[in-house]
Amino acid sequence: MKAIDVRNINKAYHGEAMVLEDVSFEVQEGEFFAIVGPSGCGKSTLLRIIAGLENVSAGTLYMNGEDMVNSRPNERQISMVFQNYALFPHMTVAENIVFGLHVKKISKQQQKQRCLEAARLLGLEQLLDRKPRELSGGQRQRVALGRAIASEAPICLMDEPLSNLDAKLRSKMRAEVRQIQRRLGMSMIYVTHDQVEAMTMADRIMVLNEGSIQQIGRPLDVYNYPQNQFVATFIGSPPMNMTKATLNGQHIQLTDGWQVAASGWEEGDVCAGVRPEHLTYAAEEPPTFTAAVEHIEILGTETLLMFRMNGELWIAKWPGQWDFQEGEEIPLKVDEEHIHFFQPGTGRRIDKRVLPADEMYMEAAL
């Protein structure tokens, strides 16, 4: 069953430029759905529209099968976790967790029980009498999560909840949030600018840019089959390397001495992209091309090699530790199947391979 069904939503502030343009997607029950995009792409606005904190300019919104586009936030059966947690500084952790439950006519006894359950789930039992200011960032985050859990709403909305935590804690909380969502079976919409969070946590992700949907799909599908140039460069770190390639008879010429067959090719010049990990070291076999190392970063488990490709900075990511001098020529190898092609004007993907259907995979995943 669809928990949330967003259809053709448009949003503009004061009749000015569109913030969201014709956004349609659906979220299944129990699904972890991440919305990812650069800052200012409209992802928070979209979440606030779903929460009912913001009006739509046009479009409809169904939640659990009911038209909810004009209803108030509390009628939508949602809980929400904010970026700054929105904890009440004068209340204890326990009071913060059960905040708002009295409005729903839930008895004191039950409130207490829910509070204890949430606290046990999050490891907050020892901290229930503290005030938020006596907690660390991660603990505050957990309290905010506890409030969402205690409300027992079937839909949970999260707006960049981990962005105020340090890197180590963030990866820990990533796993925790994911586990809790699975255990409680809530439908989750999770907004983030961090593509790592989106990739690692979500069942499906939606990439948003400048108010319009770029791609919706399972994380790996989005990674392996980016539908346009924006998705290709946004998802993945370091980003996909891009260069212009020219059509030369039956071949596409990427750079001097590197061409790939293009039989039956209808497009003219294209953009070609290769992920950094697909630029491998050509040890034995003849290299696809060679390049002079411009800069090298050795990270311990992997090495980033930077070089110029038709004037663009390209990065190759090799596992292990490699030591090259700057200016040294390195032989590189790329499998043809790992080259992505995009239309230069629209940025749309050119692909003979068919992308696996979303729906089938979705049902299998659930």
Q: Measuring CA to CA, how many Å separate 108 from each of 105, 114, 130, 151?
A: 9, 10, 20, 14
Task: Give yes or no for residue 92 binding other proteins (CB under 8 A).
Answer: no
Write out the binding residues for other proteins, residues 116-135 only, by CB under 8 A. 133
If phi over 0 gives left and psi between -120 and 50 gives alpha, with beta otherwise, what is residue 64? left
d(CA 346, CA 349): 9
Residue in 4, 56, 80, 121 binding other proteins, rule: CB under 8 A: 80
CA distance 211 to 72: 24
* Residue 249: φ, ψ to 5°: 65, -115
Q: List the interface residues with other proteins, window 40-79 (CB under 8 A).
A: 48, 51-53, 72-74, 78-79
| Interface pick for other proteins out of 57, 83, 113, 171 (rule CB under 8 A) | 83
**Comparison of 37 and 52: residue with beta carbon closer to other proteins:** 52
154 binds other proteins (CB under 8 A): no
> Is there binding between residue 99 and other proteins (CB under 8 A)?
yes
Residue number with CB closer to other proteins (91 or 298)? 91
Which of residues 17, 24, 104, 329 is near other proteins by CB under 8 A? 104
Residue placing its CB nearer to other proteins in the complex, 134 or 326: 134
Binding status of residue 167 toward other proteins by CB under 8 A: no
Total binding residues toward other proteins, as defined by CB under 8 A: 26
- 118 Cβ contact list (under 8 Å, min separation 6): 97, 124, 146, 147, 149, 150
Token representation of residue 131:
């005030």
Which member of 58, 90, 326, 366 binds other proteins (CB under 8 A)? 90
Yes or no: say if 266 and 275 are a contact pair by the CB < 8 Å rule: no
> End-to-end distance of the chain based on CA atoms, in angstroms?
11
In the bound complex, what is the minimum distance in angstroms from residue 73's beta carbon to other proteins?
5
For residue 196, count other CB atoms closer than 10 A to its CB: 15
Q: Is 151 in the site for other proteins (CB under 8 A)?
A: yes
**How far apart are CB 223 and other proteins at their closest, in Å?**
32
Q: Contact, 97 vs 146, CB < 8 A?
A: yes
Summarize as ranges the residues that interact with other proteins (CB under 8 A): 48, 51-53, 72-74, 78-80, 82-86, 88-90, 99-101, 103-104, 133, 147, 151
